[in-house]
Amino acid sequence: MIFVLDVATGYRLQDIVSLTIYDLKEAIEKGYFEVQEKKQYKAWVTHTKKYPKSTRKQPDKRKHDIVPLLEAYIKDYIKDKKKSEYAFPSQKGRGCKYITEKSYSDILKKVSLDSEINLESITGHSLRKTYANRLYESTHDLEYVRIALGHKSVEVTKKYLGIEDKVKESAAKIAGSRL
């Protein structure tokens, strides 16, 4: 379910693993997720501590609609679970803790290496990048992807998507085919 949520919404893994069953049920009732992204929130807290007179406002929660297929997956996943439970409990702590990002990344790597896929460099963050690449492949619009990911600049989004590397690889193929 973590995999599905991350690829479908593009939220960072740290924002997904800490969700509760209540959070998932509430999202279904509203028809969308509304998550305060921890990375932006921590940056804002650090900034306001460093500059107490700053007028920088708290970052907005990132909203993401729930499409019918995702809703079906979530409903099936939360069936017969208590609202107070973590949606993705750790095997340690008897349900009182949620799975860590590192533990989830380790699971992804193990599954990848045990399967025929063998994605050596897969991590939990790879799922967010998959989301970003799917958006870019569908729209070819960097600004669209930037907004969807909540990036501050298109330059960050370009780096995130590996646009420069793709251009260099493509240019080498084009130039090499005309020797």
Domain layout of the chain by residue ranges = 2-101
DSSP state, residue 85: S
Helix axes 154-161, 163-176, angle to 10 degrees: 60
Identify the pLDDT of residue 120: 67
Cα gap 104→123, rounded to integer Å:
8
- SS (HEC) of 33-58: EEECCHHHHHHHHHHHHHCCCCCCCC
Which amino acid does the sequence have at 124? G
Identify the pLDDT of residue 117: 66
pLDDT by position in tens, the chain (length 179): 999 999 999 999 999 999 999 999 999 999 999 999 999 899 999 999 999 999 989 999 999 999 999 999 999 999 999 999 999 999 886 768 999 999 998 888 888 777 766 666 788 888 899 999 999 999 999 999 999 998 889 999 998 898 888 777 877 777 777 76
Task: Give the tokens for residue 59.
Answer: 């970052």
Cα gap 54→40, rounded to integer Å:
16
Nearest Cα to 41, choosing from 75, 23, 18, 21? 18
On whether the CB atoms of residues 150 and 131 are closer than 8 A, the answer is: no
